[in-house]
Amino acid sequence: MRGDGAEGRVGGYGGATVLFDLDGVLVDSGASIVGGLTAWAEERGLDVDEVLRYHSGRTDLGLARLVAPHLDPETEAHRIQAHEVARAEDVTAMPHARELLAALDGRGRAWGIVTSGGDLIAHARLEASRLPVPDVLVTADQVAEGKPDPEPYLLGAERMGVDPGCCVAVEDSPAGVSAGRAAGMPVVAVASTHTVGELAEATVVVADLREAARLLV
């Protein structure tokens, strides 16, 4: 859909280590997230619209700090996760996700996941969607600062054993795009949950994972 030079051309990331975001990229967890956050907001007497407006790309801890500063953020992050895990059956694989991961595996290409969700919810969503759990799975429980801070992607590169500049991040949210770019990585943004304009900071924006595969494989 859009690229900013040589990096955006077909095949431009054929040798890169791929770090995928999870929600909105590999799995469609929209119903689970909305249902879980709505239940949490109503439980705590919060404005549901405000909670839903600010959740994208944030950790549960970061969201709780932002929209419920009067409550203990760690307690609330656990409550949010519990509500979403209870709705994990609503999660499915994104179109072309299985094919893309199989293509990377078939070529011996290294890939991992860097998500704003916690350990429990990440594993629940991968299990529900029947996608493989990679050797490197960076979650919100493993970092001090979540996206848009670069820490999650820097940790992902470190655990993959490569320099950040040798990775490409695949994202769907502005916060995730910012995190990947701040980590020194090119970012392929999939316009699944946000508009092309909202993802303008990305190196290249694609419509779906089939189009992303033309860049990555």
Peptide bond connecting 148 to the previous residue in cis, omega within 30 degrees of 0: yes
Query: Which residue among 21, 60, 90, 172 is the active-site one?
Result: 21
Catalytic annotation, pick one of 23, 28, 60, 149: 23
* 209-216 and 97-106 helices, crossing angle to 10°: 20
71, two tokens? 């409550």
Active site residue 60: no
Alpha-carbon span 27 to 94, nearest angstrom: 5
Name residue, tokens 């992902």.
156
Q: What DSSP element (H or E) covers 138? A: strand 137-138
Active site residue 23: yes
Tokens 């991040």 label which residue?
169
Q: What residues act catalytically?
A: 21, 23
